[in-house]
Amino acid sequence: MKNPLTFNKISAAVIIALMLAWIANKAGENLVEPEKLAKDSYVVDTSALGAAASSSTPAATAEVAVPPIAPLLAKADPEAGEKFAKVCSTCHSFGKGEPAKMGPNLYGIIGSKHAHMAGFHYSDAMQALADKDWTFEDLNKFLAGPRAAVPGTKMTYAGIKSDSDRANVIAWLRSLADSPQPLPKE
């Protein structure tokens, strides 16, 4: 640099630009008052998530009417269930001997105890069912609405509302076992 003051001039220009931007921001805040809308301009439809997803009140944990799973399992597609269950892999592992994630490993879940994974910290509600086996029907109700089926569960998922999707997932989970449980009779 030929002129020793060039750096000082550039620094001063940057500082003045930042000060002008700050002053303009403050002036804008004082001149314009945002107007609160009386009604939301865009409403998000949460009805597909079900009542349990939109509220944590006792009414939200009411028993959900779920059709029996046996007739649905006869037509279920385990491959479609595996694809659907990819969202579950965020919180659960499925391979034999794999460690738990945020939720327990689900390998061999059907026929095992409710609190089946040693070392996993289950909710008190799930611990209360620790000696009870997961049946196809129990899993059907739980997957339809976890907080309705086991009030107090730590599982925050709203549930699988589609009966056929739920049957597909259960059929796939059934296949994840050393010796899969026999299908229930209709």
Nearest-angstrom CA–CA distance, 87 and 63: 24
Domain contains 11: no
Amino acid found at 184: P
Domain contains 16: no
Residue 148, SS3? helix
Domain contains 90: yes
Region of 120 please: left (phi>0), alpha (psi -120 to 50) or beta: beta
Nearest-angstrom CA–CA distance, 53 and 59: 12
Domain contains 35: no
DSSP state of 116: -
* pLDDT tier at 173, thresholds 50, 70, 90: very high
Domain total of the chain = 1
Q: What is the CATH number of the domain that holds 134?
A: 1.10.760.10
Q: Return the pLDDT at 57.
A: 40
What are the percentages of helix, strand and coil residues in the chain, rounded to 5? 45, 0, 55
Q: Return the pLDDT at 65.
A: 80
Mean pLDDT of 26-40: 80
Domain contains 19: no
Q: Return the pLDDT at 81.
A: 95
Q: What are phi and psi of 133, to 5 degrees?
A: -80, 150
Q: Which long-range contacts (CB under 8 A, 24 or more apart) does 30-35 make?
A: none
What would you report as the CA-atom Rg of the chain, rounded to the nearest whole angstrom?
27
Domain contains 91: yes
Domain contains 137: yes
Nearest-angstrom CA–CA distance, 49 and 159: 8
Tell me the per-residue pLDDT of 56-89, one tens digit each, with 9 for 90 and over.
444 444 455 899 999 999 899 999 999 999 999 9
Determine the structural domain holding residue 121 and report its residue range: 50-175
Domain contains 83: yes
